[in-house]
């Protein structure tokens, strides 16, 4: 890992929240989470600070605007002693989930970046406004510090990809810059890097990123070949609040009735597990399913079928699978989910041992039973991947200066 001593502030800007995570190298030393609450009929924002030892503290202060969070964050980090003249920030990283050729790469923010962000609001109305806010406020609160937009698809935009093209008229694809760019690229980049470091690389591997958002990617010789998400994260697997792939006519009809922005919101924020089971928490859904709750059973089965089906699809496209990897919150922690998925894939030579746990010293575990093809559980670290890439970009800038 290069630039291990650089100090980066990683922003995750939501529609009504802001998270600031401060890193020294790969180590998160402190984070601040600003979120909205209702108070006397008005929106206020509160902040929780989490320190490196895991301790949390709700700050005794409220703010009227999320924009104020940036100056407050700077003041808090300085008061805590994490940022000062001797230890200034090296860069601010803004996670930027946006489609298109421009955002398939990471960028040091300039005027072109703002122009491209404005264009991206059409397809990413839920995510891009937060990123714009984050970039603008970061530049104002931390003048002189490089601000970088970190692509959510960069780790997947390789020439090795075999599924980037949509079957649309060429002129439409070119006019609107459409393609299956994919998402969770930082997670896949990190996990595949770890697989290579650990000497676990197999010819044909499928990595399952199962968290609040879910996707699956097939790798051949360590390079991405197929991924489940498309122009936006809505394509592919059903997840906590997303529909996953549905008949596009439904999207068009919803757009006509509700308006495009509201239709996109419904399909991204009000669908998926929460629409079927009334909860987006897989632990709660599993508990209710075990008690016989029909909605929970239906949601769980649809989820499992979706993941297993996508793995099977990639097996057909790649001519087989030599290893499966689980990562992200559900993939790393949910024994029932992993077990249910692998149970449908035993015909491909996979059997899982539900008793094994990740070896914290090694940072992974092979959960396969004896005689099975490998089934790895590897915790992801998207921030570490972004920090590594940001360090490389800034080093190159310094070399060229």
Please list the active-site residues: 152
User: Do residues 290 and 284 lie in contact, with contact meaning Cβ atoms separated by under 8 Å?
Assistant: no
- Alpha carbon dihedral 109, 25, 77, 91, in 10-degree steps, equals -10
3-class DSSP assignment, residue 260: helix
CA distance 134 to 128: 10
- Alpha carbon dihedral 315, 321, 327, 332, in 10-degree steps, equals 110
* Residue 374: both structure tokens together: 């490998």
- φ and ψ at 293, to 5 degrees? -65, 120
Neighbours of 71 (CB within 10 A): 14
- φ and ψ at 48, to 5 degrees? -115, 130
- Alpha carbon dihedral 44, 50, 56, 61, in 10-degree steps, equals -30
- φ and ψ at 226, to 5 degrees? -140, 140
CA distance 355 to 364: 14
User: Do residues 186 and 150 lie in contact, with contact meaning Cβ atoms separated by under 8 Å?
Assistant: yes
CA distance 165 to 316: 19
**Phi-psi domain of 349 (left: phi exceeds 0; alpha: psi -120 through 50; beta: other):** left
- Alpha carbon dihedral 218, 221, 223, 224, in 10-degree steps, equals -10
Q: Comparing C-alpha atoms, which of 200, 145, 134 is closest to residue 374?
A: 200
CA distance 238 to 348: 23
Return the residue matching tokens 């700077």.
Answer: 74
3-class DSSP assignment, residue 375: strand
Dmax of the chain from CA atoms?
Answer: 64
What distances in angstroms separate CA 32 from CA 21, 110, 138, 178, one per listed residue? 7, 26, 14, 36
């Amino acid at each position: 890992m290069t630039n291990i001593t650089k100090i980066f502030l990683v922003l995750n800007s939501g529609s009504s929240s802001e998270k600031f995570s401060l890193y020294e190298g790969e180590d998160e030393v402190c984070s601040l989470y600003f979120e909205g609450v209702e108070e006397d009929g008005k929106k206020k924002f509160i902040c929780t600070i989490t320190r490196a030892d895991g301790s949390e503290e709700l700050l005794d202060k409220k703010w009227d605007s999320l924009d104020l969070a940036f100056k407050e964050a700077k003041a808090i980090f300085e008061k805590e002693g994490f940022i000062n003249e001797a230890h200034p920030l090296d860069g601010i990283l803004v996670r930027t989930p946006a489609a298109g050729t421009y955002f398939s790469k990471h960028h040091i923010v300039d005027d072109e970046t703002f122009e491209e962000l404005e264009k991206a609001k059409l397809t990413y109305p839920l995510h891009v406004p937060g990123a714009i806010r984050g970039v603008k406020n970061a530049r104002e609160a931390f003048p002189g510090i490089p601000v970088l937009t970190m692509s959510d698809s960069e780790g997947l935009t390789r020439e090795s990809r075999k599924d980037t093209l949509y079957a649309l008229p060429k002129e439409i694809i070119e006019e609107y810059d459409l393609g299956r760019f994919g998402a969770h690229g930082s997670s896949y980049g990190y996990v595949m890097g770890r697989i290579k470091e650990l000497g676990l690389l197999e010819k044909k591997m499928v990595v399952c990123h199962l968290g609040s958002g879910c996707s699956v990617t097939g790798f051949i010789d360590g390079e991405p070949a197929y991924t489940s998400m498309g122009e936006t994260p809505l394509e592919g697997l059903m997840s906590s609040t997303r529909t996953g792939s549905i008949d596009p006519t439904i999207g068009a009809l919803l757009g006509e009735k509700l308006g495009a922005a509201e239709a996109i919101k419904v399909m991204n924020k009000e669908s998926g597990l929460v629409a079927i089971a009334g909860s987006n928490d897989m632990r709660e859904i599993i508990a209710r399913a075990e008690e016989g709750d029909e909605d929970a059973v239906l949601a769980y089965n649809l989820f499992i079928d979706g993941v297993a089906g996508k793995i099977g699809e990639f097996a057909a496209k790649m001519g087989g699978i030599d290893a499966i990897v689980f990562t992200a919150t559900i993939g790393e922690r949910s024994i029932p989910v992993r077990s249910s998925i692998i149970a449908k894939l035993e015909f491909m030579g996979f059997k899982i041992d539900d008793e094994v746990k990740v070896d914290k010293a090694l940072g992974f575990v092979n959960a396969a039973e004896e005689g099975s093809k490998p089934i790895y559980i590897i915790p992801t670290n998207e921030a570490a991947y972004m920090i590594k890439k940001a360090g490389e970009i800034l080093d190159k800038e310094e070399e060229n200066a």
